[in-house]
Amino acid sequence: MIKVSDLNIPTLDDVNASDKKVLLRIDINSPVDKKTGKLLDDSRIKAHAYTVRNLLERGNSIVILSHQGRPGDDDFISLQQHAELLSKYVGTNVEFIEDIIGPYAIEKIKKISRGEVYLLENVRLVSEELIEAPPVQQSKTFLVKKLSPYFDIYVNDAFAAAHRSQPSLVGFPLMLPSAAGKIMEKEVSALAKIFNPEDSPKIFVLGGGKVSDTLKIIEHLAKNRVSDRILTGGLVAELFAVAKGINLGKANMQVLESKGLLSLVPRARKLLLSGAPIEIPVDFLTEKQSGEIAEEPANSVNGVIKDIGTTTIEIYSSFIKEAKVITLRGPMGIIEDERFRNGTKSLLKSAFESPGYVIIGGGHMISMVEKGIEINENKVHISTGGGALLLFLAGDKLPALEALHLSWVSKSGKS
């Protein structure tokens, strides 16, 4: 059993998870190369392979659900590549099923035998999966009603998606005996150990492109007074720069406008005015239409912002080196292009050199952790989570964990 604030969450040791037909939800949503459509990082796939192996050792048959990207985005792709990589890391064939709730998937699921593993197609192809609603409502969706009759238990290992109240994450626990998987268990226990609310200063380095989500996270961090300093990068920094009244130039304003981010400026401004400890870059690495790359002060930017500049790296690094806990999520720049990785890589280096605890989250951020470097697990936690990690650290109750608790209470009669 794991305890998250006042909630008991069942683990694989609390339910009968041997010789069963298991429906397993994982989060193998990974960064994708926009040009080739190939996965740029397989950290999450590698992590969840551990849970799949553990369930196989218990004599189960396993059907896996996961998502990749969001409809309309470049990284909204099939899970075929993921199945190949998962097979490699599990050490057994993970058959890719190009269906989710249709007759083909159902026939395959009916006939699955002990020791077999199937990965169903990207669950976000089912439109219901995009709608967030309470567990009771999600338990009545097509997805949950169609799949649950064929399984004995539901295992949720998707810590990285635990902040979403979507059917595949919160609907099944009301229909089936349910438990947290190994990665979910490991994440929650490690974070409870490493993230002591008393430790200070706590620094959050927040970048990347999920600006609306990150704004919500910063609102929660500020409201719950969890952070001493928030160092912004990526598009998140651009939003706060505009909210501060800095003119980022026509090209960057167009980028923000085309992504619908200008509507967030009033919320960002309110946070700044309320005294939230938000820092923005003093310089950027930019690219002009001619292809020329330059470092420009934040208040006189001409090119398109691609990374933070060297003075910002120096200032941010000095804060990082004095922190007791450093949490990093979302890159500082457009890391798909190696010319714009320096900001992110330098801040990661500073974090590793700092005496403080380091928590790294988000698919793009963890892809920048150098392969093969030695990680001291007592000092560094590399999370599979991005948004979920931050909301968990901000003290929010994650819907997927709440649903597992609800399942435990209703199926066992215990609290």
Ligand X SMILES: Nc1ncnc2c1ncn2[C@@H]1O[C@H](COP(=O)(O)OP(=O)(O)OP(=O)(O)O)[C@@H](O)[C@H]1O
Ligand Y SMILES: O=C(O)[C@H](O)COP(=O)(O)O
Query: Which range of residues in 34-42, 159-167, 273-281, 348-356 is near ligand Y by CB under 6 A?
Result: 159-167
CB 391 within 8 A of CB 369: no
3-state secondary structure 69-97: CCCCCCCCCCCHHHHHHHHHHHCCCEEEE
Give kind and range of the element (H or E) at residue 25: strand 21-25
Q: Which is nearer to ligand X, 174 or 215 (CB)?
A: 215
Among 364, 369, 399, 401, interactor with ligand X by CB under 6 A: 364
Asked whether position 303 contacts ligand X by CB under 6 A, the answer is no
CB 268 within 8 A of CB 316: no
Answer with the entry of ligand Y, ligand X, none that 171 interacts with (C-beta below 5 to 8 A by kind). Answer: none
CB 240 within 8 A of CB 269: no
Answer with the entry of ligand X, ligand Y, none that 2 interacts with (C-beta below 5 to 8 A by kind). Answer: none
Q: Is residue 69 annotated as involved in ligand binding?
A: yes
Asked whether position 343 contacts ligand X by CB under 6 A, the answer is no
Asked whether position 309 contacts ligand X by CB under 6 A, the answer is no
d(CA 328, CA 186): 19
**Both ends of the chain: CA-CA distance in Å?**
11
Among 56, 22, 55, 26, which residue's Cα sits nearest to residue 42?
26
Asked whether position 164 contacts ligand Y by CB under 6 A, the answer is yes
d(CA 362, CA 46): 15
Query: Which range of residues in 87-95, 108-116, 187-195, 330-338 is near ligand X by CB under 6 A?
Result: 330-338
Q: Which is nearer to ligand Y, 323 or 398 (CB)?
A: 398
Answer with the entry of ligand Y, ligand X, none that 364 interacts with (C-beta below 5 to 8 A by kind). Answer: ligand X
Burial of 127 (0-12, 13-18, 19+ CB in 10 A): exposed
Among 171, 177, 331, 356, interactor with ligand X by CB under 6 A: 331
Q: Which is nearer to ligand X, 135 or 333 (CB)?
A: 333
Q: Which is nearer to ligand Y, 135 or 386 (CB)?
A: 386
Query: Which range of residues in 6-14, 162-170, 332-340, 405-413 is near ligand X by CB under 6 A?
Result: 332-340
Sole residue written with tokens 């994650």:
398
Answer with the entry of ligand Y, ligand X, none that 336 interacts with (C-beta below 5 to 8 A by kind). Answer: ligand X
Non-local CB neighbours of 108 within 8 Å, separated by 6+ positions: 95, 97, 99, 118
Asked whether position 281 contacts ligand X by CB under 6 A, the answer is no
Asked whether position 160 contacts ligand Y by CB under 6 A, the answer is yes
Provide the minimum distance between the beta carbon of 98 and ligand Y in the complex, in angstroms, as a whole number.
21
Sole residue written with tokens 């992110």:
344
Among 135, 171, 234, 356, interactor with ligand X by CB under 6 A: 234
CB 27 within 8 A of CB 44: yes
Beta bridge partners of 179: 155
Beta bridge partners of 230: 204, 278
Provide the minimum distance between the beta carbon of 334 and ligand X in the complex, in angstroms, as a whole number.
4
Among 3, 34, 70, 270, interactor with ligand Y by CB under 6 A: 70
CB 68 within 8 A of CB 124: yes
Provide the minimum distance between the beta carbon of 387 and ligand Y in the complex, in angstroms, as a whole number.
5
Q: How many CB atoms lie within 10 A of CB 211?
A: 24
Answer with the entry of ligand Y, ligand X, none that 27 interacts with (C-beta below 5 to 8 A by kind). Answer: ligand Y
Give 3-state DSSP helix, strand, coil % of the chain, rounded to 5.
45, 20, 40
Burial of 72 (0-12, 13-18, 19+ CB in 10 A): exposed
In the window 350-369, what residues touch ligand Y (CB under 6 A)? 363
Provide the minimum distance between the beta carbon of 203 and ligand X in the complex, in angstroms, as a whole number.
17
Q: Cis omega before residue 297 (within 30°)?
A: no
Asked whether position 329 contacts ligand Y by CB under 6 A, the answer is no
CB 392 within 8 A of CB 164: no
Answer with the entry of ligand X, ligand Y, none that 235 interacts with (C-beta below 5 to 8 A by kind). Answer: ligand X
Query: Which range of residues in 51-59, 106-114, 115-123, 357-365 is near ligand X by CB under 6 A?
Result: 357-365
Residues binding ligand X (CB under 6 A): 207-210, 234-235, 305, 329-331, 333-336, 362-365, 386-387
Residues binding ligand Y (CB under 6 A): 27, 29, 70, 160-161, 164, 363, 386-387
Could you tell me which residues are annotated as the binding site?
27-29, 44, 67-70, 124, 164, 336, 362-365
